[in-house]
Amino acid sequence: MSGFVFNEKPIQIERGDGAYVYDDSGTEYLDMGASYACVPLGHKHPAVQSAVSEQLEKITYVQASYPNAERTALYDLLADTAPDPIDKTWLCNSGTEANEAALKFARSATGNSKIVATMQGFHGRTMGALATTWKDKYKKPYEPLIGDVEFVPYDDSEALAEAVDEDTAAFIVEPVQGEGGINPTSDGYLEDAREITEDAGAALIFDEVQTGMGRTGALWNSQRAAVAPDMITAAKGLGNGLPIGATLCRDWIAENYGSHASTFSGGPVISAAAGATVSTIIEDSVPGNAAVMGDYLLTELEATIGDDVRDIRGEGLMIGVEVGRGANAALKKLALNHQVLALPAGRTVVRLLPPLTIDEAHADAVVDAMAEVVG
């Protein structure tokens, strides 16, 4: 095999349907990772399939300087769904690009360079986004990265207030840390972040690459927290498996964004997929199901394996089970012995990010499998 980037797993996935994927021998697996939250509607969703097929019959690609109905409709849809007063959107291809744009926009709009980020945070792998990512294992081979980045403890308002000053361009934060271990914030932290950045004239960036699209029980976690940042970054579930990212901005950011562009910004096929995804999530009340099923899954996990693990935490269908340093071993047993696919969040946490359309039967299957693995 000529590929070298990824550490491939010993399961060759050939197709998917709803909450399940199938390997090349036809074995069925319950997909409780949704490929890092990328298919919130499940695999092969008919609304997305239809939107993509119809668009392919018209035109595959036209660059963003030419208006296109699918792209314009997506702009409008995202503006309508974003928390007020966010109503401008820049489209790209991934979460790291969305965060890269947000950092550039913040520096351009404020005239400042300092970026404040959190310990254990993860914002992507391009040189700018990587500079705001905490773990050295992601960064060391590529240093020096962009400068003037300061890290503060996550969920610590006092430390944040000390770090954000008149030289700060932005504070970038995940409302729930994903790669860092599924860490939700405490009540009041995001409100404090809003007040601290506003007082300093800095931009507040919510990285909702993983928490967005209904995963935590609202379309955007910022709506769940009732806090409106200056920018929201999105990707992963936005195209239900197709590559797209977005940076949603307030006017004062959009009016002073500098010069930034992307060849594949909002191509028609990708925009059609994202439009169908977001519309279906809203029309089918998918965030509500994520909230209900998330509560159910957390409750059942706690009742069944709570005494056997260090912690169980999360919001909506973004759940972490802290098992200690045996997370990878647990994941292997889940996949090979119980046909359940999940994800790591560091060495200690099994991460559950299923399609947001799962039901109690799916949740029960995961609980039963986890009980066998960690009990």
208 is in an annotated binding site: yes
Q: Does 214 belong to an annotated binding site?
A: no
* 209 annotated binding-site participant: yes
Q: Is 295 annotated as a binding residue?
A: no
In degrees, rounded to 5, the angle at the alpha carbon of residue 367 between the alpha carbons of residues 363 and 369 is 115
- Annotation-wise, does 125 bind a ligand? yes
63 annotated as a binding-site residue? no
Residue type, 30: L
- Tell me: is residue 96 an annotated ligand-binding position: yes
Q: Taking a C-beta distance cutoff of 8 angstroms, is the pair 92, 78 a contact?
A: no
Contact, 42 vs 18, CB < 8 A?
yes
Contact 228, 33 (CB under 8 A): no
CA angle 98–135–352, rounded 5-degree value: 70
Q: Where are the beta strands (DSSP E) in the chain?
A: 13-17, 20-23, 28-31, 88-92, 114-118, 149-152, 168-173, 176-177, 183-184, 203-207, 231-234, 245-249, 311-315, 318-322, 340-341, 343-344, 349-352
Is 186 annotated in a binding site? The answer is: no
Do 332 and 307 contact (CB within 8 A), yes or no?
A: no
Binding residues: 95-96, 122, 125, 207-210, 262-263
Extract the annotated binding site for pyridoxal 5'-phosphate: 95-96, 122, 207-210, 263
Q: Which positions make up the binding site for substrate? A: 125, 262
